[in-house]
Amino acid sequence: MALSFKNVSMLYGSVYAIKDITFDIDEGEFVFLVGPSGAGKTTILKLLFRQDKPTSGVIEFFGLDVNRIRNGGLPFFRREIGFVYQDFKLLQKRTVYENIALALEVTNRSNAFIKDAVASVLDMVELKDKNNSFPYQLSGGEKQRVAIARAMANSPRLLIADEPTGNLDPGMQWDIIQLLNKINNYGTTVLMATHASDVVDSMQKRVIALNGGMIIRDSKGGYEV
C-alpha cells in the first residue's frame, strides 16, 4: 500500500476542511483528486506532505505513520515525495540545470551523482537541449517539464501534481498529462489534483471526488458520473 488515510479529519478553528476521510492508494496507481474549490483537495495534499497534522485519524505512507515523524526526519521523508505545482516555482536567476540540481544538492549528493541525475531526468522530460536555459527563455509547457524533472530528481516513490496543467494551453496540457502517465508507467505512484474535467474524462483512471470536505465518489471513470 502506497498511501492510506484512515478516518482523517482536519479542523481549522470551528470549520472542518475534511471530515472522516478514508481511502487507500496502491503502489503504482494513478489517481485523480477532484472537486470544487474548498472541497478539501489542498488539505489532503498538505497533510500527506506533513505541512500540517490532522485533528484526528491516521495517515500512512508505505506503512510509515506520517503523523509520528519527528521534525528531524521530515526532510528524509519528503525526499520520497515529488511535488509539482501549478505555478512551476522555478528560480528565475538559475538555469534549468541549476534548478534541478538544487533539489539534489540539499541532500549532499556528489557532483558526479548530481550531473548524472540531472541528465537522466532532463532526458525523461525531453529537454536535454535546455540545460543552460533560464526560465524566462522557456514556454509554459517547458517550465512545467522542468518542474517535473526537479520533482523526479530524487526518484520519489510518490509524485503529487497539484493542478499541473492549470496555467497551460490545451496542447501543452496534454503533453504534461502524457508525461505524468509515462512516469506512472515507470512505476511511480501519481496523485493529481485537478479541475480539468476533459483530462480526467479522457484518462479513465481512478477518481476520488470530494465535496464539502468529504468523499462523495471513489471509482474508475470520468470527472462526473
3-class secondary structure per residue, 171-215: HHHHHHHHHHHHHHHCCCEEEEECCCHHHHHHHCCEEEEEECCEE
- Residue 225's pLDDT band, with cuts at 50, 70 and 90, is low
What pTM was computed for the model?
0.94
**99/114 Cα distance (integer angstroms):** 12
- Nearest partner of 156 among 68, 62, 45, 25, judged by Cα: 62
Q: What is the per-residue pLDDT across 67-121, written as a single tens digit (0 to 9) for each?
A: 999 999 999 999 999 999 988 999 999 999 999 999 999 888 899 999 999 999 9
In angstroms, the Cα distances linking 64 to 59, 70, 79, 80, 123 are: 8, 12, 14, 12, 32
Domains, the chain, with CATH or none? 27-56+69-220 (3.40.50.300)
Provide the 3-class DSSP secondary structure of residue 145. Answer: helix
> What value does the mean pLDDT take over residues 135-149?
95
Task: Look up residue 162 and give its three cell numbers.
Answer: 497539484
